[in-house]
Amino acid sequence: MKKKTVQSAFYISLIALIGIWSSCEKEEPIPTVELTAKVELTGVTTGSKVDELTIRVKSNQTGVTKEFTAEANGETTMTLEEGVYNFEATGKISYSYTDYEGEEQTKTESIAGLIENLSVSSSMTNKTVAIQTHITVNSSGWVIKEIYSASTKTSVGNKNYTHVQFVEIYNNSGEKMYADGLAIGETQVTSATVPNYYADDIANYTFVQTLYSIPGNGTNYPVDPGKSILIAPYPINHKVEFDPADNKLLDLSIADFQWYDEHSLALQVPEVPDLIKHYSYSSTIWILTTQTNRGLVLFKTDNIADYVTNNIDQRKNNAGKDAIAVRLDNAKVLDAVYLGHPEKIKVKTIAPSLDLGFTYCSETFNGKSVRRKVSHVESDGRVVYQDTNNSTVDFIPDAEPQPKQFKVD
């Protein structure tokens, strides 16, 4: 019997060993990728300083988020396993700008950027992940995208040609909005009116000398996200009608609305609906201030005709004479742009809460406009404009007029 026990023990241990052996699976090691994540800033002025830059990397498979802090140069290195991740960057940016009094001011804003579903693998050619960040937009709605008021000189005859002026309003949100009832107007005083006899009231009100509004019952004029409303006094193709060889003349026949003044100097283009002229200081035509030293506001209220009649303000101006303007409640101002030439600004005509800074065209009739900067482009291609309520930072002075074009420069 002795020989039989040893044999079965051997076979049992052999089976046990095989059993143990096979259960200890040897795991394959998962490849990792070393990459640099870099935060890139768009649409912010130079001389800015970023702070508290955090990059969160979330794995789409595991849902685990890892946080990294970027260095001062915006970069950080990380080692990630191959997979699909979302990269999100957040932080703070401090920048300085010159205010209307010529003083240096600093502002801090939040920035954010996101790259979704980025595939990380060893075969990546570019081991740097650039995360485009932008200042978080705090207005989600209508913004004034461009104002072309400086106008241009014609090539032939070098004449002042103000007929190419326009104002463009953009749907900066992600939803369809209706343009019915939007009103535009220019401030009564210029940036050079010293003292500004409305100064005590501008914290709560803006005083305008013109106010024109888009008609409609509320749903007549829909505007998709990423689209705009172009308003011009002469919505014709100026180049074709005036001088085909002059490239400074624009084709404004694409305008959506016309501000039309009944006067022998004006043209009524029936294809383009007219704005309602609620108030104007002039019984002739309204020409935007070519010196770019008045503010332009975008305003909306219910029953605007009655609002105008009930809010006519009369006070003494600096020459001791009566000045009349329409008083707009700042709470109903959707957007405002303060225009003033840097060397000539003496007063603020728009509340700082509406616009902290200013923008301008350096010369009259130089063929340039003021245009809002692009903050970023959404994944579906929709352009989002920057709006921190600070025109010094948000606008490009002396820009090329681009009606109905949303180029990322």
Which residues would be at the binding site for other proteins (CB under 8 A)? 154, 156-159, 161-163, 234-238, 241-243, 253, 261-271, 273-274, 276-284, 305, 308-312, 314, 316, 320-322, 324
| CA distances to 148, 170, 222, 237, 366 from 397, in Å | 11, 18, 30, 25, 12
CA neighbor of 317 nearest in space, from 281, 361, 355, 360? 281
| CA distances to 28, 175, 211, 221, 299 from 100, in Å | 65, 34, 25, 37, 23
Query: C-beta of 102: minimal distance to other proteins in Å?
Result: 24
Tokens of 119: 């595939």
User: What order of strands is seen across the sheet that includes strand 322-329?
Assistant: 205-208, 322-329, 312-316
- Is 235 or 397 the residue whose CB approaches other proteins more closely? 235
Query: C-beta of 267: minimal distance to other proteins in Å?
Result: 4
Query: C-beta of 404: minimal distance to other proteins in Å?
Result: 16
CB neighbour list of residue 107: distance below 8 Å, 6 or more residues apart: 94, 95, 96, 97, 356, 388, 390, 393
- Is 29 or 320 the residue whose CB approaches other proteins more closely? 320
Tokens of 303: 């029953």
Query: C-beta of 191: minimal distance to other proteins in Å?
Result: 21
- Is 294 or 371 the residue whose CB approaches other proteins more closely? 294
Query: C-beta of 402: minimal distance to other proteins in Å?
Result: 21
- Is 68 or 197 the residue whose CB approaches other proteins more closely? 197
Dihedral class, residue 253 (left if φ above 0, else alpha if ψ from -120 to 50, else beta): alpha
**108 half-sphere exposure, CB direction, 13 A CA radius:** 5
| CA distances to 19, 92, 231, 238, 403 from 369, in Å | 81, 30, 14, 17, 10
- Is 181 or 273 the residue whose CB approaches other proteins more closely? 273
Query: C-beta of 309: minimal distance to other proteins in Å?
Result: 5
- Is 74 or 235 the residue whose CB approaches other proteins more closely? 235
Question: Between vectors from CA 255 to CA 164 and to CA 294, what angle results, nearest 5°?
Answer: 50
- Is 105 or 301 the residue whose CB approaches other proteins more closely? 301
Query: C-beta of 346: minimal distance to other proteins in Å?
Result: 16
Query: C-beta of 266: minimal distance to other proteins in Å?
Result: 7
- Is 278 or 376 the residue whose CB approaches other proteins more closely? 278
- Is 9 or 312 the residue whose CB approaches other proteins more closely? 312
- Is 203 or 305 the residue whose CB approaches other proteins more closely? 305
Query: C-beta of 262: minimal distance to other proteins in Å?
Result: 7
Query: C-beta of 376: minimal distance to other proteins in Å?
Result: 36
CB neighbour list of residue 189: distance below 8 Å, 6 or more residues apart: 196, 197, 198, 207, 294, 347, 349
- Is 65 or 284 the residue whose CB approaches other proteins more closely? 284
Query: C-beta of 239: minimal distance to other proteins in Å?
Result: 10
Distance of alpha carbon 192 from alpha carbon 98, whole angstroms: 17
Tokens of 187: 């401030």
